[in-house]
Structure 1
Amino acid sequence: MIGIEDVSGPRKGLSVFARILMAGAALTLSGCVVPNDGPLTQEVLSAGAGGKAYEIPQTKLVFDVVSIDQRVANSVSAGTRQGFASTFGLGGGGSTPVIGVGDRLEVTIFEAGPDGLFSTSERKSTSIPVVVQPDGHGQIPYVGSVRFAGMTIDSARSTIVDALKAKAVEPDVIVAMADNASRTVSVQGAVNRASIVPLGLNGLHLSEVLAMAGGASKPPYDTYVSLKRGGRSRSVLLQTIIDNPRDDIYVKPDDQIFVSFDPQTFSALGQTEKSGKIPFNAAKLSLVEAAALAGGGNVATADPKGYFVFRYEDESVYRSVVGDDRFRDLISRGMAPDGEGRYPIVYRLDLGATQSYMVAQNFPVRNKDVIYLSRHVATDLAKFLSIISSGSSAAYNITRTARTF
């Protein structure tokens, strides 16, 4: 068998160069590349619109990479996410309700004379129950069919009085709502008592409607309230409604409310001691607290300058963070929103800077955020040298075996 000879003379063993070549060949044959756990810090920075664009084949995702400082943390923390008020308006209980199909009215007619259509010598009034029919009408003796649907209580009273003036003796009328069946809202899902809730004449806030349905069955920081009205819908964390009374809007008839239990979580990836989906178990969570829940970083492999938060951000917050000019520039480059109108952004925290630990206390983590701690570039070199060493040892053993033949 022919072996590879050393440059100092035949059969003196393999040269260092030959051993590296054999190790490289072994790595190539095994399809080996240096294993990694996601992109390096510089790769993330380069992927943003400010660096060299990173493109997935046939797809270009445009986003910005923003370093977290005190201004950015304050802007994100103060940013208000779209809620019920921005989608549906505040509404109001002061709006005058109207009579609808299915409502039950109590119509009381008074007359001045003792022997009128609705009075006797013993009493001067008669009460008539009226149920508004599917066609919107109801029957009143000596008046006939009256279209009540769409009328207010006052307009219904005036209509009946005018119709009786030529028939009754100085008539007067009182119309009362006995059962407001047309003004209801359905509440379903993770509540203690799913039900159809009557709104009454004064109107009810969303929190009052939920209370009448027995309240949410799970903690408010893990409970979402979805409201559908007409062709629009919006889902808001119940804790947000508690913290922001503006989103505790008035409910309207025929609104559909669904309450769901969906624990707030973030995903920890990369060089964190604990990876995977991690629940908040709290109403609010700062980036420092999230880092602690993820067990901190792996001191042997993590790059402290590469702590990233991947998120889809509301437009108002995005503009506040990067500025209107930068936001328009990103849009012109092709940045596009997701299905909820939010835009992709990556926040970077440099844990090598002392102030970052203070700043991160004011930076809020959002539901479904991805927190990624990149590996240090030296990690790849160490892995490569380890592989080369293993390959060289294997090649040396193979050569020694070959020489025995």
Structure 2
Amino acid sequence: MSETTGIDIPGTRRLARSLMRFATGAALLTLASCVPSDGPLTRRVVEAGAADGAYRIPQTRTIFDVVTIDQRVANGVTTHGTPSLARTFGFGSAGGAPVIGVGDRLEVTIFEAGPDGLFSTTDRKSTTIPVVVQPDGHGQIPYVGAVRFAGMTLATARTTIVDALKSKAVEPDAIVTLAGNESRNVAVQGEVNKAGMIPLGLNAEHLSEILARAGGATKAPYDTYVTLKRGGRQGTVLLQTIVDNPKEDVFVRPADQIYVTHDPQTFSALGQTERVGKVPFNTSSLSLIEAAALAGGGNLTTADPKGYFIFRYENESVYRHVVGDKRFRDLLAKGMTSDGQGRYPIIYRLDLGDPQSFIVAQSFPVRNRDVIYLSRHPATDFSRFVSIITGTLAPVTSATRTVQTF
């Protein structure tokens, strides 16, 4: 103890060193919890998904499954996940002759053999009668009365009129033509050059023919979607799909609604990819291996090849095929919910450390609005931590030396 100050210098130094060690330890713990992160590690995603069979985000309680991509999964997603108008509506057929409907305008020309008949004179042998089919389906013909035209073919309408006039006119005959087609229209809206009501002809027409009559799409077919609504059903495919696959060029029906929208296909690349952000397809279809190439591949120094993930909302039919009906029911019981369009959240995982993955990835399709995430390698966090410590401990060490020389 100093006689002049009464302070125990060695004890004070020990106390100061203890305080510095405590402060240093606290700083390290704080730094360890503050290491910059740009997404979950592979282990975090995989283990969280395996913990109770479904990955749960506590804040929103979103539940989804984590599925490793193999050839079975890739084939199932391709087969069941590709939108199809033919599956939704059936390809259809040319069908029979079109029938008359409410609102149609007809021209009924009636001929008679005699010069002074009901519909003939000395100057002409026929009379043309305009008929508009009323909401009750009927139309009026002189000397015949109300004829129910709705549901008849033109040939049936002719026979009906002639039969009704046989006892009243002189050797009657008739021709029934369609002057205005109001009941057999198709509505075409959106990104076409001539949107509006397109009347169907007497022959059955394909979807591509109706789009052509509407002036065609204004944008590239690989970025243009065609939605067909019929009754309570709806289906959407890329215009390029209709061009490439004749089975998708279905026959249209009266009262169909067709919407053409321009929505460039993109996916978002996140994590340790060389190119981060929204990436356009610029093609009608894109495989996972092609998407990885568009994203510039992975960062060689920070990426974890075992952690390539695709975040997606998947259609129920695809989900059930991939995980199985029992598993799907279990996920629903745990609280998994759809996005309002019948799609459910799922994560697909690809292990690029396995050579087979490069083959499988060629047949796994990337969808519009997918999020592709490449996880960082666990060693990256340790390297960052060490670099932070190296820069932070310098002033702490300097302070410790100051105390030691006190």
TM-score interval, normalised by the smaller of the two chains: 0.7 to 0.9
Q: Deviations over 1:206-235 (max 9, x none)?
A: 111001111111111110112233344332
1:293 is the counterpart of 2:289:
no
Please give the secondary structure, in 2, of the residue aligned with 1:130: strand
Match of 1:236 in 2: 237
TM-score by length of 2: 0.86
Counterpart in the other structure of 1:165: 166
Structure 1 position 189 matched with structure 2 position 204: no
TM-superposition CA deviations, 1:116-152 (whole Å, max 9, x none): 2123455543332323345644332222343433433
Distance across 1 between alignment mates of 2:244 and 2:311: 25
**1:151-230 mapped onto 2 (5 Å cutoff):** 151-230=152-231
Deviates more, 1:145-154 or 1:281-290: 145-154
The amino acid of 2:314's aligned partner reads E
Offset, 1:294: 0.9
Q: Classify the secondary structure of the residue corresponding to 1:48.
A: helix
Q: Deviations over 1:56-88 (max 9, x none)?
A: 336433322222223322332333534333333
Corresponding residue for residue 71 of structure 1: 72
Q: How big is the shift at 1:53?
A: 4.6
Deviation of the 1:388 alpha carbon: 2.6
1:101/1:50 Cα in 2 relative to 1: closer, same or farther (>3 Å)? same
Which one is further off, 376-385 or 28-37? 28-37
CA contact (8 A) 2:54 2:65 kept: no
Which 5+ residue runs of structure 2 have no aligned equivalent?
1-6
- 5 Å matches for 1:24-103? 24-26=25-27, 33-48=34-49, 53-57=54-58, 59-103=60-104
Assess, with a 3 A threshold, how the Cα gap between structure 1 residues 29 and 71 changes in structure 2: closer, same or farther. Answer: closer
Moved more, 136-145 or 293-302: 136-145
Q: Which residue does 1:381 correspond to in 2?
A: 382
User: 2 CA distance for matches of 1:34 and 1:386?
Assistant: 10
Q: Which residue in the other structure is 2:350 paired with?
A: 349
C-alpha separation between the residues in 1 aligned to 2:348 and 2:185? 45
Q: CA deviation at 1:240?
A: 2.4
**Counterpart for residue 335 of structure 1:** 336
Q: 1:28 to 1:370 in 2, by over 3 A?
A: same
Change (3 A) 1:117 1:4: farther
Moved more, 272-281 or 251-260: 251-260
For residue 281 of structure 1, give the secondary structure of its aligned residue in structure 2. Answer: coil
TM-score by length of 1: 0.87
| More displaced stretch, 268-277 vs 175-184 | 175-184
- Cα 1:61/1:5, change in 2 over 3 Å: farther
Deviation at 1:25, TM superposition (A): 3.1
The match for 1:315 is 316
CA distance in 2, matches of 1:146, 1:75: 55
Work out whether residues 181 and 198 of structure 1, in 8 Å CA contact, stay in contact via their aligned partners in 2. Answer: yes
Matched residue of 2:362: which SS?
helix
Q: Give the whole-Å Cα distance in 2 for the aligned partners of 1:360 and 1:117.
A: 78
Aligned length: 401
Inter-partner Cα distance in structure 2 for 1:205 and 1:35: 56
Residue 4 of structure 2: aligned partner: none
Deviations 1:17-66, CA, capped at 9 Å, x for gaps: 86553234346778952221111101111232565654333643332222
Q: Deviations over 1:317-339 (max 9, x none)?
A: 33333344443443444433332
How big is the alpha-carbon RMSD for the aligned residues of Structure 1 and Structure 2?
3.2
Task: Single out whichever of 252-261 and 129-138 deviates more from structure 2.
Answer: 129-138
Between 53-62 and 250-259, the greater mean CA deviation after superposition: 53-62
Offset at 1:365? 0.9
Decide whether aligned partners of structure 1 residues 163 and 209 sit closer, same or farther in structure 2, where only a CA change above 3 A counts: same
Against the structure 1 CA distance between its residues 258 and 177, is the aligned structure 2 distance closer, same or farther, given a 3 Å change threshold? same
